[in-house]
Amino acid sequence: MKTMYDTLIQASELSAHLDDKNWLIFDCRFDLADSAKGEALYRESHIPGAIYAHLDKHLSSAITVQSGRHPLPDITLLVNWLAACGLTEQSQVVVYDDSYGAMASRLWWLLKCLGHSAVALVDGGWQAWQAASLALDDRPAVLQPSDYSAELDCGCYVSTEEVIDNLQSNDFQLIDVRTSERFSGKAEPIDPIAGHIPGSINIPLSENLDPGGLFKSAAELQQLYAGSCSDGLSQQPVFMCGSGVTACHSVFATVLAGFSMPRVYAGSWSEWIRDVARPVATGLE
């Protein structure tokens, strides 16, 4: 019986499957300050057979005056791109980046929302692959297009309108994964307004990792999220960040811990502050 990887995979495990025809590898390296850098690094060197997944071009749609910085991708375009890459229902997908999963988790989450179970994240990412002195390549992947089709489960995310309603209803608990400095309003290096949505709590995504950049154990992650992600809570968790991308890192961590997959506030902070009438809180409470 073949092993299905649906959360983490170690670099050594992936290395043993580079020649497997049913495996698809996606390089998700991306620099928010330089949108061309990730693809340039891919062209220099990548895991053999990896396909480059560009956060702006493939995993997000165009920014609008109402949206945040990384709106959800047009699902038809996303599915068509995945088909062009050769994805099938039988594919084992593996994603990696050089930011310890902060970018690659976006594609992991999107594939889960499309109903694809067999998708895993390389623990430690590009750095772990390099540290193990594993095979490298600079050639683009040879694609074998498929007839893949799927629909996005809209229950995987919430809209700004739902977040506004939640200010009164308290149906879910917003968990903001940005740094405490950004959450509190002490610093905001990316967006024009600092602070957080009233009622949200802060669990920085850095808490998901050990000092070496690997994900903490399931037991450690269970302890971290036990107070906000346990099944049966009256307020189910919804994760957010600056633009809906790195929130997926904490969604991944909670699934790794054994909890049900929580939702993401897709627009996140950068969409919330598009309307100055929406309330903003500062401080750590």
**CA separation, residue 9 to residues 61, 152, 181, 187, 231 (Å):** 29, 24, 32, 35, 26
Mean of per-residue pLDDT scores for the chain:
95
Identified catalytic residue from 28, 156, 229, 241: 241
Q: What are phi and psi of 230, to 5 degrees?
A: -65, 140
What is the identity of the amino acid at 74?
A: D
CATH number of 8-131: 3.40.250.10
Residues of the chain with CATH 3.40.250.10: 8-131, 154-272
Write down the architecture of domain 154-272 according to CATH: 3-Layer(aba) Sandwich (3.40)
Structure tokens at 6: 């649906």
Q: What CA–CA distances, in Å, run from 217 to 124, 246, 255?
A: 13, 20, 12
Both tokens of residue 78? 């996303």
Look at residue 234 in the predicted model and tell me its pLDDT.
Answer: 54
Alpha carbons within 13 angstroms on the beta-carbon side of residue 280 total 19
Report, in angstroms and rounded to the nearest whole number, the Rg of the chain calculated over CA atoms. Answer: 18
> Which residues, listed in sequence order, are joined to residue 25 by a DSSP beta bridge?
94
- For the stretch 55-83, pLDDT in tens is 999 999 999 999 999 999 999 999 999 99
In the annotation, is 241 catalytic? yes
Question: Each residue of 135-183: pLDDT tens digit?
Answer: 999 999 999 999 999 999 999 999 999 999 999 999 999 999 999 999 9
Give yes or no for residue 107 having a pLDDT over 90.
yes
Give the burial string for 128-140 (b: 16+ CB within 10 Å, else e). bbeeeeeeeeeee
